[in-house]
Structures are given as structure tokens and as C-alpha cells.
Chain A
Amino acid sequence: MRVLGRVVSYFVLVLIGVLGLAPFVYLLVLSFKSQLELLDVPPSLHFDWATIKENYSTVIHDQQYPTFVKNSIIVTGVSTLVALALGVPAAYAFSRLRFRGSDTWGSTILSFRFMPPIAVAIPIFLMIQQLDLVNSYFGLVLPYIAFTLPLVIWIMIGFFDEIPREIDEAALVDGLTRPQVLFRVLLPLVRPGILVAATFGIIFIWNEFLVGLFIISSTDRETIPIAASSLLTVESPIQYNLAAVVGVLTVIPVLFFAILVQRYIVRGITAGAVR
């Protein structure tokens, strides 16, 4: 009976795993095919190294893929770092200090995150236009910080709340100022939280498409998601195999990153506020 139970549960888990992986496998397979092979019925699993090389080198060399990666890294990195730099101290303040409206603001901040990006995409575009930042890194970074900040603050409040206030108080009595308490004592303690917040931020910004589409108008400023979509829409006929290559190359960095930090994410999610 127990054995049967195990068999069933493993079967279900494997099924879920296969269902989850299938799109990625399909994407990978597509990226290995030539334009003609895509139409094979039934689809074959015959791969040709020359085709693979050609697909990938086309995307990497002819399609300015390194530029897109560079753009994505710059925009994601800067936005995430700034959001953390602002959000972590803000979360500390929300967790520890009582000030006018601190409770109200604490919950209001999260509600900003509920707003669908499409609702704010056009106003944001107009504001960025007013600032004369259209088609610039800065024009992307600003809204991305705004999107990420509430998330960072909210996650970090949870982590700070779990550290007993007495630790702060002990540090104050030991001779630290408030900011020193944060930087010298608490930051090492909330490191898992920072990693969780950074991961959520990075994944969101890396994948963000809508706002980017409004703000970026030239190919050399495109981030990977925007570049991938223009590949599908601009080129004619649509080269699905090349689009798939872009897809694969887009997923790989995030995938590696996720594998790298997953230990912290799991710990962070179970320990922190994101439950």
C-alpha cells in the first residue's frame, strides 16, 4: 500500500515536471532546427550541428544579441541596485520606527504593486517623454525602480520584523547610531531577505516588456524581451527558429541565476514575508 502510494505520487510529480519542462524543451528543439525542418510532419528529433551553429551565430552576431544582453544587464542591474539601496533602509524604518502615517504607508506601498502595468504604461511614457528620457537607459531604469521598490520594501519589512528589536536596542546601547545599527548589525542578518528581494526584482525587470516597448524606440537600446518580439514582428517571413534561439538565450541567464540563488530563495520565502 505504502509502495503503491509512493509510485502514484512519483508518477504525478514526474508528470508535473514533464508538463513544466515541455515548453522549454520545445523551445530548445525549435532553436536547433533550420527554417525548413520546422515544417516536418511528423517532427523529427534529428539534429544537425551545422544548423545549430548557424542559428546561434546568426542571432549572436547578425542580430546584435550581445547589445541586447548588455542593455538588459545594465537596466536590470542598475534598477535592482537602486531599488535595494532605497528599499532596504525604507523597510527598516517601516519595521522599527513609528512616524506619522507609518502604518498606513506600509500597507499603501504594497498596493502600488497591484496596479497592472498596462494601466500606468502610457502615463509613465508621457512622464518619461516630458523628462526627455525616451529611448535612454535612464528612461527605463526610473519606472523599473518604481515597480520594484514596493516589492523590495514589502519583502524586507517581513525580514526585519523577524529580527527582535532587542538586537537593535543592544546595538544602540553598545554604541551605534541608528544607521550604523542597520549597516553593521542588521544587514548581515537580513542577507537572505536581500537575496530574495533582489531575485524577485531581477526576474521581473529582466522579463519586463510592456513599459520597455513604449519607451525604447531604437534597436540598440532594446532589452532582450523587446528584441525577441521585434524579431517575430519585424522579420518576414517569421523565423521561428531564430526567435527560439533568442528565447533560449533569454531564459538561460535567469535560469542560471535562479539555480544559483535558489537555496536562499527557498529559505527566504519560508522565513520571510512572502508566504
Chain B
Amino acid sequence: MAPVSFNEVGKVYRDDTRAVSDFTLDVADGEFMVFVGPSGCGKTTALRMVAGLEEITEGEIRIGDRVVNDLHPRKRDVAMVFQNYALYPHMTVYKNIAFALKIRKMPSDEIRRRVEEAARILGLTAELKRKPAQLSGGQRQRVAMGRAIVRHPQAFLMDEPLSNLDAKLRVQMRAEIARIQHELGATTIYVTHDQVEAMTMGDRVAVLRKGELQQVDPPQVVYERPANLFVASFIGSPEMNLVEAQLERGDGGLVCRIGDQSIAVPDELAAQRPGLERYVGRTVGLGFRPEHLEDAALGGETPHSGRLRGQVVTTELLGSELLTYVEVDAAPVATAEVLEVREDVDRSRVAALESEARAHRTVMIGRFDVASTARAGSAIEIVLDTRKLYFFDLDSEAAIGYGDRTPQAAKPAETARLLP
């Protein structure tokens, strides 16, 4: 196993389209690093450059202490798991897994030992004599994993390995891959567009947008302290509510004016966000997560609660919670980054957000307790936990007030949950 480091790596295709720019990142030895972002953000390109399947046009990539820019893929000693598994259809499971070892002319009893070991870890022992066509999607995925495991490579590279599986299997394999990775202590770069995978699997998450690194941090940090509007709206499901607010100084401290309503910013939060002072009298992007909203009728009000009135648009009862869409009289945040995240989900959501912006109405999503009686069309009052507010500069789209900590300043040594 070895660390993988990107140093000002860039990728420009022959037709002059730029896929990755100025990408600098260190993946520690044994770390599970997730690259996440919407389609076309350059995450797969970055991964393929490590594998040697894509030429590195700028900067350098190191695996261990070797610069691999000009090395043929077979000399990089990395293993890759592909989205469509890329199993060799004419070979049995055993041969698929053993293939790379056979090429390296490993003695056959050692090959047998390793393949059987991998099959045991992956629960494929009964399948060894079958061909890929006879396997289910989940089993194929495991074979692809097995092919990587037996290599004992410097690093595992995984390119959306779960996206072809159905939802239930995906959840199961998610846990399984994470478990195997921990067992092997293997340096892993995992590419996904699914932010749930990013949150649940990675030691650290690297969020990419248009080929540029937005933030590299452990999942919880990315969730709690998103570096900018892009990360804030991309990470989290349902996504963060973002509304335009006027920041003012009230009697007791800072106050956010949301349309004709207002919310007090707790002093302790203001103290944690020294940068906020400069925004007094200006419009900022105000964000809060769905889980920090609750139906006011259920009580649960604390000294830190703010209140907002709105109109229920629709509700979704999920059994454990009631997702409630509440329309509030204020303009939504509709900057380029937010629109881009929406577009990645669905084009129609861009139009929806734009029309909301024109009408100065914001639809917020709250995860209410199922006891809530909120029904579509009725007026509602919601309480929100003001200690969990996020503030964004609407011009630079950056988060306001984590001191001078820039997103990329996070060094692996500070933040990586290092493995045993």
C-alpha cells in the first residue's frame, strides 16, 4: 500500500476541453478517499489519470514515491474496479480473479491461495467455476472486487462501482466495500456521484466541480462546514434549504431578515463566524438543513429557535418522518453553483428554482415528526434551530466566517481518520 498524491494536476483533452484543473490532493496510505461531484466534474478523469488510462497533461501524480506520469498502466501497480465491472466474459470467475496474477507469472499454488482467500472474503467460493454471464449483478460486482483484492496493489481505484446495482443491493455492497477496505487497509480512491456513498464510505471526501476541487474533508466536516454554496447544496439529501436574507444588527445581536420575517442569529454562532460582521447591511445566502426544521405546532421550541410562517405545498410521509415542502415569502438562493447542482439532478428543477426566484418565493423542505398535521394548502409555522444556520457570500458563493480556513488548507494529517 502506498499514498497517492496529485500535484497541480490538470487534464486538457485534444479538443481543448478541460476536464481537471490545478488538482492538488494527498491521499494518505490506507485512506479511503471519495471523489464526488455531479456528472462531468472531472472525478472519473482524475481517477483514470492515476490508473494510466488517461494521459496527464499538467502536473504530476505520485504513487508511493514514484512519479507515474509516463508509466504504462501495468507498471503502476494499481487495481481498478469499473462501473460495468469489465469482467472477461470468456473466463470463469476463478480465471477472472487469477488473471492478473497469472500475467505476473506468480506460482500457481500462490495464485490458488490468493484467489480462494479473496473468494472467501467476498462469498464467491461457490461461484468460482461459473462464467460472468451466469452471475447476478451483485456477484459480478464482487468478482470485480476480487480481481482487485488478489493483486495486493499499491492502491485501489473504483469508478462508480455500485451505480449499476439496484438500490437495496447498493446499500449492502456499500457496507461490504467499506468493510473490506478497512480489513485490507488499502489506499482507495472511490469515485461516485452519489453523495450518500460519499458520506457513508469515505475517510475523507473530495468534492469536485467543473474539474476543480471544492473541498476535501471528512464527511461530517463537509456536511457541517461546507466550503461554498456548491458543496452545501450538493451534499445532503434532501438538500439544504437556501434562502436570501438581509443581515442586520438588531437589539440583541445579528438578525436575518427573510422577506418580512426575521430570525435572530445566536451570539455563540456569531462568535464562531467572525466573518459575518462584514456582511451587516448586505444580502447573504442563508442555509439550514431539513432536519433542523420542525412543525411549530409540535412544540419543541428552545431558546435557539427561530420561527417562519409559510404555506404547505406538499407532504411526503416516509414512515419515520414527514417531508414537508413549505413555501416561504422570500427569494431563494439561485446562484450559478446552486443551479448547477439542481441541473445535475434534473433539468426541470432549474426552471422551478428560476421561477421561484422570479416570484420571490422559496420552497423549503423540512423533515418533520410524523405527528405533524401539516397538509398541503394549509398555513404553517415552522421552528428552526438557529444554531445550525449557514451563511454564504452571494458573489463569491463561499461560506462566510470559518475564520481564514480555506477549504484546501485541510491536510490529511489533520483530518484523516487513519486506519489501524
Residues of A within 8 A of B (CB): 98, 164, 166-167, 169-177, 180, 185, 188-189
Selected contact of A175 from candidates B14, B89, B103, CB within 8 Å: B103
Complex formed: what's the CA distance from A188 to B131 in Å? 14
Residues of B within 8 A of A166 (CB): 82-86
Interface string of B77-90 (1 = CB under 8 A from A): 01110111111111
B278 at the interface (CB under 8 A from A): no
Nearest 6 CB-CB pairings of A with B: A166-B86, A174-B100, A170-B86, A175-B74, A175-B103, A172-B73
CB <8 Å contact, B53 and A174: no
Chain A nearest Cβ from B87, distance in angstroms: 8
- The verdict on A172 contacting B52 (CB below 8 Å), with A167-B86, A177-B72 known, is yes
B147 at the interface (CB under 8 A from A): yes
Chain B nearest Cβ from A162, distance in angstroms: 11
CB <8 Å contact, A174 and B82: no
B223 at the interface (CB under 8 A from A): no
B279 at the interface (CB under 8 A from A): no
Residues of B within 8 A of A (CB): 14, 51-53, 72-74, 76, 78-80, 82-90, 99-100, 103-104, 147, 151, 157
9 contacts between A and B (CB under 8 A): A171-B88, A172-B74, A173-B53, A174-B100, A175-B74, A176-B74, A176-B103, A180-B103, A189-B88
Q: Total number of A-B contacts with CB less than 8 angstroms?
A: 60
Complex formed: what's the CA distance from A170 to B74 in Å? 10
CB <8 Å contact, B82 and A189: no
- The verdict on A169 contacting B74 (CB below 8 Å), with A174-B147, A175-B100, A175-B103 known, is no
| B54 nearest CB neighbor, chain A only | A169
Name 15 extra pairs, CB < 8 A, besides A166-B86, A172-B72: A98-B14, A167-B86, A167-B88, A169-B82, A169-B86, A170-B82, A170-B87, A172-B74, A173-B73, A173-B74, A173-B79, A174-B79, A175-B104, A176-B103, A189-B90
Most chain B CB atoms below 10 A, which of A167, A171, A175: A175
CB <8 Å contact, B89 and A169: no
Residues of A within 8 A of B86 (CB): 164, 166-167, 169-170
Residues of A within 8 A of B88 (CB): 167, 170-171, 185, 189
Chain B nearest Cβ from A167, distance in angstroms: 5
Residues of B within 8 A of A98 (CB): 14
- The verdict on A174 contacting B99 (CB below 8 Å), with A164-B84, A169-B80 known, is yes
Residues of B within 8 A of A174 (CB): 74, 79, 99-100, 103, 147, 151
Chain B nearest Cβ from A42, distance in angstroms: 58
Residues of B within 8 A of A177 (CB): 72, 74
CB <8 Å contact, B53 and A169: yes
Residues of B within 8 A of A180 (CB): 103
CB <8 Å contact, B84 and A173: no
Selected contact of B89 from candidates A171, A172, A173, A189, CB within 8 Å: A189
Residues of B within 8 A of A176 (CB): 74, 103
Residues of A within 8 A of B103 (CB): 174-176, 180
CB <8 Å contact, B51 and A173: yes
- The verdict on A170 contacting B90 (CB below 8 Å), with A175-B74, A176-B103 known, is no
Chain A nearest Cβ from B149, distance in angstroms: 13
Residues of A within 8 A of B85 (CB): 166
Residues of B within 8 A of A185 (CB): 88
Residues of B within 8 A of A171 (CB): 88, 99
Chain B nearest Cβ from A153, distance in angstroms: 23
Chain A nearest Cβ from B119, distance in angstroms: 17
Chain A nearest Cβ from B111, distance in angstroms: 13
Complex formed: what's the CA distance from A188 to B88 in Å? 10
Chain B nearest Cβ from A95, distance in angstroms: 16
| A188 nearest CB neighbor, chain B only | B90
Complex formed: what's the CA distance from A164 to B14 in Å? 22
Chain B nearest Cβ from A190, distance in angstroms: 10
CB <8 Å contact, B80 and A173: yes
Most chain A CB atoms below 10 A, which of B80, B88, B90, B103: B88
Chain A nearest Cβ from B163, distance in angstroms: 13
| A98 nearest CB neighbor, chain B only | B14
Complex formed: what's the CA distance from A180 to B88 in Å? 14
Chain B nearest Cβ from A197, distance in angstroms: 19
- The verdict on A173 contacting B78 (CB below 8 Å), with A164-B84, A166-B84 known, is yes
Residues of B within 8 A of A170 (CB): 80, 82, 86-88, 147
Residues of A within 8 A of B157 (CB): 173
Residues of A within 8 A of B14 (CB): 98
Complex formed: what's the CA distance from A177 to B71 in Å? 12
Chain B nearest Cβ from A265, distance in angstroms: 20
Residues of B within 8 A of A167 (CB): 86, 88
| B78 nearest CB neighbor, chain A only | A173
